[in-house]
């Protein structure tokens, strides 16, 4: 008998949930309820008697996992769902590594390095080896190393691969492999893994220890994966290994929303699912519950231009809704003010909250002008991607103490807290300790522990201070295993001197920092309570809390209850998975969106188009697109061309108010027809023949005058804002796609789309 809760699903969702055996792919359009399918599938398995610990459900954020688990509890109860292995790839695999990592040479109290820790290690390596810190910046190095690990390439493989070495040498960065190897060694020496190591080492564990792989294949009878289109090679391989025995794997995703190639995501994972699992069944969730019909159909008209995609036709029963608005402004400052004004008036007109509005953009740099405009109109806003709670200095300092207590080999934690609060141990002393650690290839803690046995030139005062610090931390290490997390955290906060130092600072900033320290301790207590609930009263240790914190992301953090009614400003990447009644997409210009770095191949351009698709489908009721005719780049005002993506939206879904259509310069580059004429493309014009006779002298052309498209013909001299003077050598195409090949003096032949080129007539 089917459980009653399945009646909450539509027919396709229900069939997908009931198909519990064998490989299943749920291809889910934007706003189609894919998370509901995953959630109900787990609940259905539990209702059929499947043991919770036999189910593994993988997500990309802890927030998504929590929401799913809460929903499952409401459907089948806490007892049945408590032991489901549900969480992010990193949290679930880190849990496995805690149990099994000794087989690959790690202690089970290993530290997880965040991005700042990793960059700090890399910065120290570059400095010690006296490499060029501009060529080998920490951000570049970490990105390069991360890409290698996601593709399961260790330092030796990196150094021996001729293609990789050639690429590094061609980029004038031949030492990346050497730095990677040293970084690898230092992380191992500190018993630390970075985020990519969690995936790399899980694959290593399953690859080299078949008995361990078999253990977890027998543990996880059912595997569910959310956002499968965002998986990288390492994640793909681990999932495939685990699912090989029973093949009860269900993946949910949307190839049209694969936008994380820069993080290693491989769209081929979802495109090739049918090849990996020939006996698979596929279910398409095509009904959108989020957006109006206009928005859904506009998104469809864009994504159909991608060749690499799985066919589906998203539709909705929602209202038709308003047409998409298109803003045109003269520059980025005007664009920002136009958007801010629109939000102000829409909020008043529709009686909406600030939190109902979101402004999305391609790059973080675009937020500056938008923030200024929001402040001018006193509109409260929040920029996503700012400093998260767990990245604030006082928070990282407190966590540094916790990390050192849990894992004394953690060099980065040692550096952070050895002299905070100040205890008379300066940089000179720390550098000497670091050199000794490098010389003996040991963690700094081992050097401190054996300082009396190692030749050194520290005076008695320094030895005493180092000894006092060692004793402080050692005492906490001795009681960590038997002391509940919150009790130990309070003792460390007090004994370290941090609580006193922050309490005595009565400046507004000092009070805020003290409150943040309190929030850390509150977080430990909340985690301890949750841990006891989930583990039948067992007491959480500090090591458990630190694992949980290390795997948090910015989007997992709870919003301040008093800070919710704000307009959201964020990049489109950050907006994935979110929805807002009113959405503005700014900066829709060529070389900005699509980004100039992402138009070198069809694959790159299609990823940019998927990003635009994601942006469109965040909107529920009203979508506004915006572009500027000029924008500052490196201190200079540059002319901009409207994005090709605007062109790809079927014109019947877009409303272009007359007040935004200028009759002067812009009339030649952007001249949409009246609504009654506008049947296709947004920039559709009446067909213009390129067979018109060439202009003659008696037309009284004025040099410097903006040319009409019909004026451009072979032999005509023109002037371009960037390339200067040139001669038209060829004109081809028709309608809005007329192009001219112009041989510019000193720049050679350039092909220009005439409606964007802004050519002037020239007599030079």
Residues 6 or more apart whose CB falls under 8 angstroms from that of 16 comprise 24, 26, 37, 41, 283, 285
User: Quick check: helix, strand or coil at residue 360?
Assistant: strand
CB 359 within 8 A of CB 366: no
Whether 382 and 567 have beta carbons less than 8 Å apart is answered as yes
First vs last Cα of the chain: how many Å apart?
85
Q: Which residue in 104, 77, 79 sits closest to 93, CA to CA?
A: 104
Backbone φ/ψ region at 578: left (φ over 0), alpha (ψ -120 to 50), beta: beta
452 closest CA partner among 464, 434, 438: 464
Q: What is the DSSP letter of 287?
A: B
Among 197, 227, 410, 589, the one annotated catalytic = 227
**What does the DSSP assignment read for 21-41?**
SS-EEEEE-TTS-HHHHHHHH
Residue with the two structure tokens 């880190």: 94
Unique residue bearing structure tokens 């699992």: 277
Handedness of CA 498, 499, 500, 502 (dihedral sign): positive
Select which of 13, 14, 34, 669 is catalytic: 34
Is 35 part of the annotated catalytic residue set?
yes
Beta bridge partners of 606: none
Closest residue by Cα to residue 564 from 380, 331, 696: 380
CA-CA distances (angstroms) from residue 621 to 130, 321, 377, 579? 56, 7, 23, 10
Instruction: Quote the strand ranges of 116-234, DSSP E.
Output: 192-194, 222-225
Q: Kindly name the residue from 61, 88, 257, 571 that is annotated as catalytic.
A: 257
Report the distance separating Cα 719 and Cα 762, nearest Å.
6
- Tell me if 531 sits within 8 A of 540, measured CB to CB: yes
State yes or no: is 257 an active-site residue.
yes
Tokens of 247: 């093949």
**Which residues are 743's β-sheet partners?**
727, 749
Q: What is d(CA 684, CA 703) in angstroms, rounded to the nearest whole number?
A: 29
Q: Are 669 and 640 in contact (CB under 8 A)?
A: no
User: Strand, helix or coil at 437?
Assistant: helix
Q: Is 226 a catalytic residue?
A: yes
- Strand segments (E) across 275-340: 281-285, 324-329
| Contact of 640 with 630, CB cutoff 8 Å | yes
Active-site residue, from 13, 14, 35, 590: 35
Structure token digits, residue 445: 């803690």
Active site residue 618: yes
CA 552 – CA 99 distance, rounded (Å): 20
Return the structure tokens found at 554: 């910015």
Q: Which residues are within 8 A (CB) of 291 and not within 5 positions of it... i.e. 6 or more apart?
A: 30, 31, 299, 316, 318, 321, 617, 619, 620, 621
Q: What are the two backbone dihedrals, phi and then psi, of residue 567, each rounded to the nearest 5 degrees?
A: -70, 135
Catalytic residue among 618, 631, 739, 755: 618
Return d(Cα 368, Cα 363) in angstroms, integer: 11
Sign of CA dihedral 434, 438, 443, 447: negative
Are 65 and 88 contacting, i.e. CB atoms less than 8 angstroms apart? yes
Question: How far are the Cα atoms of 322, 567, 577 from residue 580, in angstroms, in the given order?
Answer: 15, 10, 11
Q: Which residues are catalytic?
A: 34-35, 226-227, 257, 618
């Amino acid at each position: 008998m089917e459980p009653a809760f399945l009646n909450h699903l539509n027919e396709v969702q229900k069939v997908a949930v009931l198909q519990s055996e064998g490989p299943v792919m749920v291809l889910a359009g934007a706003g189609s309820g894919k998370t509901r399918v995953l959630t109900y599938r787990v609940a259905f398995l539990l209702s059929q008697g499947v043991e919770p610990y036999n189910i593994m459900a993988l997500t990309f954020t802890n927030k998504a996992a929590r929401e799913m688990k809460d929903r499952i509890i409401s459907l089948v109860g806490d007892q049945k769902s408590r032991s489901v292995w549900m969480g992010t790839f990193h949290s679930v695999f880190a849990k496995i590594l805690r149990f099994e990592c000794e087989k690959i040479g790690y202690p089970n109290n290993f530290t997880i390095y965040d991005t700042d820790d990793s960059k700090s290690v890399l910065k120290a390596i570059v400095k010690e080896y006296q490499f060029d810190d501009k060529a080998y910046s920490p951000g570049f190095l970490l990105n390069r190393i991360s890409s290698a690990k996601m593709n399961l390439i260790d330092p030796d493989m990196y150094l021996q691969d001729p293609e990789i070495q050639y690429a590094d040498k061609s980029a004038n960065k031949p030492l990346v492999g050497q730095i990677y190897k040293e970084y690898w060694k230092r992380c191992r020496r500190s018993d630390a893994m970075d985020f990519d190591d969690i995936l790399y080492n899980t694959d290593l564990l399953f690859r080299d220890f078949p008995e361990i792989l078999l253990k977890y294949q027998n543990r996880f009878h059912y595997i569910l994966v959310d956002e499968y289109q965002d998986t990288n090679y390492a994640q793909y391989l681990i999932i495939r290994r685990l699912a090989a025995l029973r093949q009860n794997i269900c993946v949910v995703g949307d190839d049209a929303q694969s936008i994380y190639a820069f993080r290693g995501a491989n769209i081929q994972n979802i495109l090739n699912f049918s090849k990996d699992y020939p006996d698979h069944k596929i279910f398409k969730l095509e009904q959108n519950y989020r957006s109006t019909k206009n928005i859904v159909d506009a998104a469809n008209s864009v994504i159909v231009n991608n060749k690499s995609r799985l066919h589906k036709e998203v539709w909705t029963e929602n209202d038709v809704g308003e047409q998409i608005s298109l803003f045109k402004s003269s520059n980025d400052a005007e664009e920002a003010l136009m958007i801010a004004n629109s939000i102000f008036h829409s909020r008043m007109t529709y009686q909406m909250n600030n939190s109902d509005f979101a402004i999305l953009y391609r790059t973080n740099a675009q937020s500056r002008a938008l923030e200024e405009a929001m402040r001018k109109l006193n509109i409260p806003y929040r920029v996503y991607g700012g400093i998260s709670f767990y990245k604030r200095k006082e928070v990282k300092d407190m966590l540094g103490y916790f990390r050192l207590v849990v894992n004394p080999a953690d060099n980065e934690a040692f550096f952070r807290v050895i002299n905070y609060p100040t205890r008379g141990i300066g940089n000179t002393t720390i550098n000497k300790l670091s050199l000794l650690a490098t010389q003996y290839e040991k963690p700094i803690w081992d050097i401190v522990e054996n300082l009396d046995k190692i030749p050194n030139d520290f005076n008695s005062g320094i030895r005493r201070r180092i000894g006092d610090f060692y004793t402080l931390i050692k005492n906490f290490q001795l009681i960590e295993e038997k002391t509940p997390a919150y009790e130990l955290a309070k003792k460390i906060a007090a004994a370290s001197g941090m609580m006193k130092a922050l309490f005595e600072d009565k400046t507004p900033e000092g009070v805020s920092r003290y409150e943040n320290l309190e929030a850390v301790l509150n977080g430990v207590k909340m985690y301890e309570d949750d841990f006891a609930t989930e583990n039948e009263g067992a007491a959480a240790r500090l090591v458990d809390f630190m694992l949980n914190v290390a795997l948090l992301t910015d989007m997992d953090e709870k919003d301040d209850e008093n800070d919710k009614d704000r307009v959201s400003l964020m990049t489109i990447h950050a907006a994935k998975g979110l929805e807002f009644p009113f959405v503005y997409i700014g900066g829709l210009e060529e070389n900005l969106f699509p980004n100039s770095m992402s138009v070198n191949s069809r694959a790159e351009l299609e990823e940019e188009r998927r990003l635009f698709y994601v942006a469109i489908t965040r909107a529920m009721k009203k979508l506004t697109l915006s572009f500027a005719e000029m924008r500052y780049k490196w201190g200079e005002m540059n002319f901009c061309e409207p994005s090709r993506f605007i062109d790809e939206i079927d014109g019947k879904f877009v409303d272009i108010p007359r007040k935004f259509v200028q009759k002067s310069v812009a009339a030649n580059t952007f001249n949409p027809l009246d609504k009654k004429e506008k049947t296709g493309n947004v920039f559709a014009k009446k067909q213009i023949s390129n067979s018109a006779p060439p202009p003659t002298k008696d037309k009284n052309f004025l040099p410097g005058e903006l040319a009409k498209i019909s004026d451009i013909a072979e032999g005509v001299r023109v002037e371009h804002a960037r390339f200067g003077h040139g001669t038209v050598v060829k004109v081809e195409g028709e309608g809005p796609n007329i192009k001219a090949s112009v041989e510019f003096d000193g720049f050679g032949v350039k092909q220009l789309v005439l409606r964007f080129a802004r050519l002037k007539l020239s007599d030079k």
